A and B are shown apart, each in its own frame.
Chain A
Amino acid sequence: MNPWKKDFPILFQQVNEHPLVYLDSAATSQKPNRVIEQVAAYYQGYNSNVHRGVHTLGTKATDAYEGARDKVQRFIHAKKREEIIFTRGTTTSLNIVARSYALVNCKAGDEILLSPTEHHANLIPWQQVAKQTGAKLIYMPLESDSTILLEKVRPLITNKTKIVAIQHVSNVLGTINPVAELAKLVHEVGGIITVDGAQSVPHMKVDVQELDIDFLAFSGHKMMGPTGIGVLYGKEHLLNAMEPVEFGGEMIDHVDLENATWKELPWKFEGGTPIIAGAIGLGAAIDYLQEIGMDQVEAHDRKLTTYALSKLQEMDGIRIFGPLENRMGAVTFNLDNIHPHDVATVLDSQGIAVRAGHHCCQPLMRLLGETATARASFYLYNDEEDIDQLVKGLQKTKEYFGHVFLG
C-alpha cells in the first residue's frame, strides 16, 4: 500500500458499499491526522484571540499563528515574513491584488495579459478591473493541445502590459505554465506578474524568489490544510504601496475620530480576528509536506498522472484533453456519448469520487468544445490501484450505458 495513505483517516471508509477511491483532490485535498489533531489541540488547549491582551493562552495562540506565517515564508522561500498575508483562500488573495494593486495602477489603454485556461477566480477580478479602468484584457493563444508557447506570447508583452495574470498549473489540464520566463518578460517592460498557485503550491516546490514573481495566491485546503485559510504572497515594496481592502480592528495603528493609520505589513491586510485555527492547520500541513519533501510529492503526482494517462489512452471511446506529457495532478476526459454527470454518478455508485462539470473554467470548456468534462485528480495518498479502479469503473460505466441504451 501507499506509505502515506494511513495518515488520512477519511480514506478508510466504504461509499455505496465500496472502498472509497478519492480522485478529487484538485477540488479539495484530504487532511492528514497531524492537521486534524493540531487544529483540535488549538481549540482544546489554547483557543484565544491573537495580538490582544496579555494572558497566557493569548500569547500561545499568537505564537502559533505567527509561527505558521514563518512556515509559509520558508515553504515558498519568501524573502521576509512581512510578505505573507493570510487570507481566506486563492479567490480572496487574487481579489486583493485586483482591487488594491490593479485598480490603482491600471488606466485606459493599459493591457492585462491572461491565458484563456484561467479558473474564474483569476479571470473575473481582471474583467472587473478592465471595466472600471478601461484597461484591456489580452488573451494568450493556445496550441492544439491547450498549452501555451512562449514564442507566441512574447510579442504580446509590450510596454502597454501592466499585469500578466496566470495560473501556474491548470486545474483542468494539469499543464505547467512557464511562469519564470513570463516574469522575466513582463519585468523587462515594467509590468508585474501575479500567479495563481492554487494547483502548483500543493504539488511542487514553488520558490517565489527563484521564479521572481510579484504576487502568488494559494489555498490551504488544496494542500492538506483546513478550508478558509489561504495566502497572498507579494513583494514587500508592492504590498507597502498598496492600501488595505478591509478596514477595522487588528489592522490599525492609531485611530482618532476622523482618521486612522495602518499597522505595518503583514497585519495591515488582516483586518478583524484572523483565521487562527486555519493558519495553525496550514502550518501543520506544511510540516507534513516538508517532512516528505516536495520533490518526492511532485515525483509521486507526476508518476500517477503518467500512469493514468497511459491507462486511459488504452480505452476505446474516450477523449482525453490537454497534452499527453509534462502535466501533473489532474486528468480530464469524456466518454463518447455519455455525459460526464452520468459518468460521475455511475463511478460514485462504485465508491469512486471524481469531479464532473466545467471546473470553474467556462471559457476553457468552450475552447475544448465541451460543456462539461470529467476530471480525476491525484495527490500523495493515491496510488496505481486507485487508477486501476477508475479504469474498471469507466469500463463498467460504458457497459452500463451500452446496456440501458440498447435495452
Chain B
Amino acid sequence: MSSLDDLYRRVIMDHYQRPRNKGELDNGDISIELNNPTCGDRISLQMNVEHGMIKDAKFLGEGCSISLASASMMTESVKGLTIDQSLHLVDLFSRMMQGEEIDTEEFPIEDIEALTGVAKFPARIKCATLAWKALEKGVKQ
C-alpha cells in the first residue's frame, strides 16, 4: 500500500484530526462558500484583508481527510500574504496537483509537501483543490 501511504501521510491525518484555523471570523471582510457538486464536499472560507494583505483566514468544512487537511494547510499558508502572493500559491498548488515538479519551498509551510501524493489519485484532486479554489474566488471578489 505504498502509494496509499503517500496519499495519507501522517501530516495529512494530523491536519484532518486537528484542523488549524477552523471556525468563523466575527467580522470577515470576505466570505465565500464553495462546494464540490459531484461529491458534496463543502467549504466556507472567511478572510480579513487589510491594505491588500490577508490578515486572517478561517474555514468551516465538510469533507474527506484530503479536503479538510488541504483547507487547514491553505489557511495556514496565506496569513500575512498579499493577494498576489496568495494567487501565486493557488497557481502553484494547481500545478502541483497536475503532477508538475514545483518547488514546494515556495509555500510558507512545509506540510504542503505531504499533498504531492494526491496527484497520483486523479479522483481525489478535486478534494484537495476545493479550499484553494475558494481562496482564489475570495480574493478575486
| Given contacts A339-B63, A371-B62, A405-B13, A345 and B38 within 8 Å (CB-CB) | no
CB distance from B26 to the nearest CB of A (A): 26
**Across the interface, which residues of A come within 8 angstroms of B42, CB to CB?**
371
A365 and B40: CB pair below 8 A?
yes
A341 and B124: CB pair below 8 A?
yes
> A400 CA to B5 CA in the complex, in Å?
9
**Across the interface, which residues of A come within 8 angstroms of B64, CB to CB?**
339-342
Query: Is B95 an interface residue, CB under 8 A from the partner?
Result: no
Query: Is B8 an interface residue, CB under 8 A from the partner?
Result: yes
**Across the interface, which residues of B come within 8 angstroms of A365, CB to CB?**
40
A345 and B123: CB pair below 8 A?
yes
CB distance from A28 to the nearest CB of B (A): 15
Total count of chain B residues near the partner, CB < 8 A: 23
B40 and A345: CB pair below 8 A?
no
A372 and B40: CB pair below 8 A?
yes
**Across the interface, which residues of B come within 8 angstroms of A54, CB to CB?**
none
Cross-interface CB contact of B3 among A349, A372, A401, A407, cutoff 8 Å: A349
CB distance from A333 to the nearest CB of B (A): 16
Contacts of A357-379 to chain B: CB distance below 8 A = 357-358, 362, 365, 371-372
Which residue from chain B places its CB closest to the CB of A405 in the assembled complex? B13
Cross-interface CB contact of A349 among B4, B10, B13, B17, cutoff 8 Å: B4
Q: Contact residue range for chain A?
A: 20 to 34
CB distance from B138 to the nearest CB of A (A): 22
Cross-interface CB contact of A342 among B38, B62, B65, cutoff 8 Å: B65
Query: Is B127 an interface residue, CB under 8 A from the partner?
Result: yes
Cross-interface CB contact of B39 among A348, A372, A401, cutoff 8 Å: A372
CB distance from B15 to the nearest CB of A (A): 12
Which residue from chain B places its CB closest to the CB of A337 in the assembled complex? B17
Query: Is B74 an interface residue, CB under 8 A from the partner?
Result: no
Provide the B1-28 mask, 1 if CB < 8 A to any CB of A, else 0.
Answer: 1011001101001000100000000000
B40 and A358: CB pair below 8 A?
yes
> A174 CA to B62 CA in the complex, in Å?
26
**Across the interface, which residues of B come within 8 angstroms of A407, CB to CB?**
10, 13
B40 and A357: CB pair below 8 A?
yes
Which residue from chain B places its CB closest to the CB of A346 in the assembled complex? B4
A356 and B39: CB pair below 8 A?
yes
A341 and B62: CB pair below 8 A?
no
**Across the interface, which residues of B come within 8 angstroms of A342, CB to CB?**
8, 64-66
A405 and B39: CB pair below 8 A?
no
Which residue from chain A places its CB closest to the CB of B68 in the assembled complex? A339
CB distance from B44 to the nearest CB of A (A): 13
CB distance from A342 to the nearest CB of B (A): 5
A400 and B39: CB pair below 8 A?
no
**Across the interface, which residues of B come within 8 angstroms of A349, CB to CB?**
1, 3-4
CB distance from B10 to the nearest CB of A (A): 6
Which residue from chain A places its CB closest to the CB of B4 in the assembled complex? A349
B66 and A405: CB pair below 8 A?
no
> A341 CA to B67 CA in the complex, in Å?
10
Cross-interface CB contact of B7 among A339, A345, A372, cutoff 8 Å: A345
**Across the interface, which residues of A come within 8 angstroms of B65, CB to CB?**
339, 341-342
CB distance from B99 to the nearest CB of A (A): 17
Which residue from chain A places its CB closest to the CB of B1 in the assembled complex? A349
B10 and A345: CB pair below 8 A?
no
**Across the interface, which residues of A come within 8 angstroms of B121, CB to CB?**
345
Please give the residue numbers on chain B whose beta carbons come within 8 Å of chain A beta carbons, in ascending order.
1, 3-4, 7-8, 10, 13, 17, 38-42, 62-67, 121, 123-124, 127
Q: 5 additional contacts, CB 8 Å, given A345-B4, A346-B4?
A: A345-B123, A358-B40, A371-B62, A371-B63, A372-B40
14 A-B residue pairs with CB within 8 Å:
A340-B64, A341-B39, A341-B66, A341-B67, A342-B8, A342-B66, A345-B123, A345-B124, A348-B123, A349-B4, A357-B39, A358-B39, A372-B41, A405-B13
